[in-house]
Structure 1
Amino acid sequence: MEIISKNITFREDRQLLVITHLTQYLDYVTGFGGLIVPLILWLTNKDAVLGMNEHGKSVINLQLSLILYLVIGIPSILLLGLGILLLVFAGMLSLIMPIVNAVRASNGESPSYFGTIRFIA
């Protein structure tokens, strides 16, 4: 069996990385675009843009974590009343972390999402 080495060249496009992080705010406009648009950007550019694989995985992990927090938090309000704290945490996370990581992406740093579950490693 012969293994052919591919010479893959990555282009550095920090603006696309920043846009990937900021498209998470589409959830506030459309209600669902914050997961779909970054997913499409990640899947189409992960082999072409330097750092897109790492940043895309982080964005998708955050969005999936937020969905899980909402699914757990809403029934917890009715059962325990403590679900409000989880929903406040998820709301603050969804507002602050995309901006922080968009700035990190523009500086060429790795993303760091606090409070996310790594669904995609």
Structure 2
Amino acid sequence: MTEESVPQATQVPEVAPVGEERTWALLGHLSALSAFIVGIGGVLGPLIIWLVKRDTLPFAADQAKEALNFNITVLIVALALVVLTVFTFGIGIFLTLPIGIIVFIGWLVLTIIAAINANNGVRYRYPLTLRLVQ
């Protein structure tokens, strides 16, 4: 077999996202802040953007999916803290309240960092996130 007959693997350079794609990626992260208005909005906003843009804008869909996974993880942690508080008949609040405040501040800061990176066209991966949505 000669070298000419062996197919060569070609690498397609990743094109930097522009304009509309960056805007939708930014909204994918910032839509999680709708949780301030609607409690489950932290999951609902990124889910809607991911479902609408997953076939047309790959960067925006990737970032919305990343935001969705992160917000599902935070929701699970928040529910676990509530369950712990209830099962300890309220005594656990001395532990769960400070942890809840730390989780909230972390959620807010990481969401803003992710939005800034998405607006700059950089793929952001949240730390300590369960990747439930593939």
Q: TM-score, normalised by structure 1?
A: 0.79
Q: How many correspondences in the alignment?
A: 111
Q: Which residue of the partner structure matches residue 53 of structure 1?
A: 61
The answer on 1:37 being equivalent to 2:50 is: no
- The structure that has the greater radius of gyration is 2
Contact 2:46/2:65 (8 A) holds in 1: no
Match of 1:7 in 2: none
| Root-mean-square deviation (Å) | 1.9
In the alignment, is the contact (CA less than 8 A) between 1:62 and 1:117 conserved in 2?
A: yes
Task: Return structure 1 stretches of 4+ with deviation > 4 angstroms.
Answer: none
Where do 5+ consecutive residues of structure 2 fail to align? Answer: 1-16
User: Quick one: which of 93, 113, 126 aligns to 1:113?
Assistant: 126
Q: In the TM superposition, what is the alpha-carbon distance from 1:95 to its structure 2 partner?
A: 1.1
Counterpart check, 1:69 vs 2:112: no
Does 1:82 pair with 2:90? no
8 Å contact from structure 1 (residues 69, 86) kept in 2: no
Amino acid at match of 1:42: W
Alpha-carbon distance in 1 for matches of 2:77, 2:99: 7
2:46–2:67 contact (8 Å) kept in structure 1: yes
Give unmatched runs, 5+ long, in structure 1. Answer: 1-10
Is the partner of 2:77 in helix, strand or coil? helix
Cα distance in 1 between the residues matched to 2:39 and 2:31: 12
User: For residues 25 and 62 of structure 1, what CA distance do their matches in structure 2 show?
Assistant: 13
Same amino acid, percent of matched pairs = 22
